[in-house]
Homo-oligomer: A and B are copies of this chain.
Amino acid sequence: MKRIAILTSGGDAPGMNAAVRAVTRKAIYEGMEVYGINYGYAGLVAGDIRKLDVSDVGDIIQRGGTVLYSARYPEFATEEGQLKGIEQLKKFGIEGLVVIGGDGSYHGALALTKHGYPTVGIPGTIDNDIPGTDYTIGFDTASNTVLEAVDKLRDTATSHVRTFIIEVMGRDAGDIALWAGVAAGADYIVIPEREFDIKEIAAKISKSRERGKRHCLIMVAEGVMSGQEFKDLLSQEGDFHERVSVLGHVVRGGAPSVRDRVLASKFGWKAVELLKEGKGGLCVGIRNEEIIASDIIDTLENQKHHPDLTLYTMNNEITF
């Protein structure tokens, strides 16, 4: 291929810009032309497309958000929208597309693939809930942002002998709650992948209090219930001086971590190598430390993301 395009779609994630940069630089280095599509699939259908030069991706590797902007665009679920998108790509002479995003974005890539248009997906979402990869771009940064916040809550919790219920992002996946929870030394982590027993949690807090522990931190993934709902449940079991903290959109932004920038760079590099060889219908990922490419249809239709549940056991099992 000699001309490819790139778009970012869905919720923004730190490291998306590093991926945009890697795709652009690698492709130009390989003698290809690169076009940037603004506002995801909405911009694709509307033809909001511009040529990218090396200098367009200069000084962006460290920036949160996405310089290509993003938008939710449910209309792309229709065949009409998809065909319009392919028409736009052909109008610009674009032979292959890189899509960076989460679940919804991947389904757009899947649709383009089914229409025969060469597309490569790069997993970019803070939620880490994409099949075909151990990690998504943005997950490491978001987990660290959550951790920094919880380290601050710990100061207050310790000073006032309080229980903080910390609601974190994660509609279907408990990854952020699990990783940030273990890292924060949370007393309990509540995730969508596992049932919880409120009496067991209350008993664990009571036991901690008895041995003199001053703060108690409970991570709740929003996919289970809201922090407030969890507080209401817990307070029926006793008075634990509960406070709720909701870590919302703040977690999406910020300069990406080393891991997210390195992962994004490798994914971008790989995506271009695939398209250069004329390969589409794929999504890239990292599996056991190796950068891989999987069939996007098989990945989305037959695979599922599984969080590391040893973290759940390690963290929740220990009771003194």
User: Which of A's residues lie within 8 Å of B, judged by CB?
Assistant: 8, 11-12, 14, 18, 21, 25-26, 28-29, 54-55, 58-59, 61-66, 69-71, 134, 140, 143-145, 147-149, 151-156, 158-161, 164, 179-180, 182-185, 211-215, 243-259, 261-262, 265-266, 269, 288-290, 310-311, 314, 317-320
- Residues on B with beta carbons closer than 8 Å to the beta carbon of A265: 182-183, 314
Q: Is the CB of B261 within 8 A of A250?
A: no
Name the residue among A144, A147, A160, A288 with the largest chain B CB count within 10 angstroms: A160
A178 to chain B, nearest CB (A): 9
In the complex formed, the residue of B with least CB distance to A71 is: B160
> Which residue of chain B has its CB nearest to the CB of A215?
B59
Nearest Cβ on chain B to A286's Cβ, whole angstroms: 9
Q: Nearest Cβ distance between residue A139 and chain B, in whole angstroms?
A: 9
With A59-B154, A182-B261, A320-B28: A250-B247 Cβ-Cβ less than 8 Å: yes
> B262 touching A259 by the CB < 8 A rule?
no
Do B179 and A258 touch across chains, with their CB atoms under 8 A apart? yes
Complex Cα distance A8/B64, Å?
A: 27
Residue of B nearest to A63 (CB): B155
Contacts of A288 in B (CB 8 A): 288-290
| C-alpha gap A290/B149 in the complex (Å) | 29
Query: Are the C-beta atoms of B258 and A183 separated by less than 8 Å?
Result: yes
A211 to B58 CA separation, bound complex (whole angstroms): 11
- Once bound together, how far apart are the Cα atoms of A180 and B259, in whole Å? 9
Find the residue from A59, A69, A159, A318 having the highest chain B CB count within 10 A: A159
Q: Nearest 9 CB-CB pairs, A to B?
A: A152-B253, A64-B155, A65-B155, A155-B253, A288-B288, A183-B261, A65-B159, A12-B159, A61-B185
